[in-house]
Amino acid sequence: MTKTAIVLPGTAPAATRATTDDQIIASWLANLGSALSRAKFGATAERLVAELARRGLTLRTATVEDVRDIVAVLGEGKAPATARQYAQRVKSLLSYAHRLGYLQFNAGAAVRTRSGGSDLAKRIASETEIALLIRAAPTKRDRLLIEVGYAGGLRVSELVAVTWGDVIPRADGSAQISVLGKGDKLRQVVLPGIVSRSLLASRGDAPASAPLFPSRKGGAPLLARAVNRMLKIAAAKAGVNSDISAHWLRHAHASHALDRGATIAEVKDTLGHANISTTSAYLHARPGSSSGRVLDSGVFLR
């Protein structure tokens, strides 16, 4: 006998098996492709649930005013960009829960987040600052890491995850890197010649499974926080903005490459901002150009 779902007047059947806040959050997190994103979004959801519980509330009983108040608490004392990320994650969760029928209304839709405005411009280092940062790197490994991060426009999570098996030497002497980005999307990044030569020369007898940038303890991959800590040390030595982080290298790549004539399409493909269609995937499997190649080679000169 086939069971028929009972739908109350004025309601729609839920498209999820979740019956508790923890279950809908788990479903939401499972929908995210990147492990790093799941960790960050999960931490925000955990804080949201804790604040709700402190008020005797759940996702289903929270009002717009409750959500607005909690979003303000989550962002208290944080940089505007960080507070905005918290708010966007909360809105994403509530929207997901409402869309699947777990929530009767989307309280997050009425919570407004401030636009980033000119924040991005403040996080773009100049070519001179990048050059100074490279030269102030504490070690040869750190210098190469900064060079590859900037030249490839890589996210810090991508940078520390790359292994030698992901590096493809090309006939022209350049290095092509297979990068697994957000949503497990694979893209190909070609480094400029001067960085390629330094990278390929640094391999030694490292096996394909070895990370490009191992830690000094046991050869395990560097952690993202170790990369950012190193950049702070280099920034202090170079006398550049102390707020700099690995993601600033990515911002700088995009800005500098566009300034030097790279097309928007090249930059999107290199940074992994755009989804690549089935047909264009063939064109970019062995790219003839990459936005990193138009960067000023003088930045990397020793």
Q: Which two tokens stand for residue 260?
A: 């030097």
247 assigned to active site:
yes
Task: For residue 235, give both structure tokens.
Answer: 């920034």
Is-catalytic flag, 250?
A: yes
Q: State the number of CA atoms in the 13 A half-sphere of 260 facing the CB.
A: 18
The catalytically annotated residue of 250, 251, 253, 256 is 250
Q: In angstroms, rounded to a whole number, what is the distance separating the alpha carbons of residues 52 and 140? A: 48
Sheet holding 175-180, edge to edge: 167-169, 175-180, 186-190
Contact 115, 136 (CB under 8 A): no
Active site (annotated) includes residue 251: no
Active site residue 155: yes
253 assigned to active site: no
User: What are the distances in angstroms from CA 240 to CA 21, 81, 200?
Assistant: 45, 21, 29
Q: Which of 237, 247, 268, 284 does the annotation list as catalytic?
A: 247
Q: Among the options 122, 216, 282, 286, which is catalytic?
A: 282
Angle (CA) 127-133-135 rounded to 5° is 105
> Which residues pair with residue 178 across a beta bridge?
188
Q: Which of 155, 251, 256, 293 is an active site residue?
A: 155
Locus of tokens 């399409």 = 265
Catalytic pick from 38, 47, 273, 284? 273
Burial of 13 (0-12, 13-18, 19+ CB in 10 A): exposed
CA–CA gap between residue 53 and residue 47 (Å, rounded):
10
Active-site residue (options: 38, 40, 135, 182): 182
Q: What are phi and psi of 114, to 5 degrees?
A: -70, 145
What whole-number distance in Å separates Cα of residue 153 and Cα of residue 253? 5
> Phi-psi region for residue 39, left (φ > 0), alpha (ψ -120 to 50) or beta?
alpha
Active-site positions read 155, 182, 247, 250, 273, 282
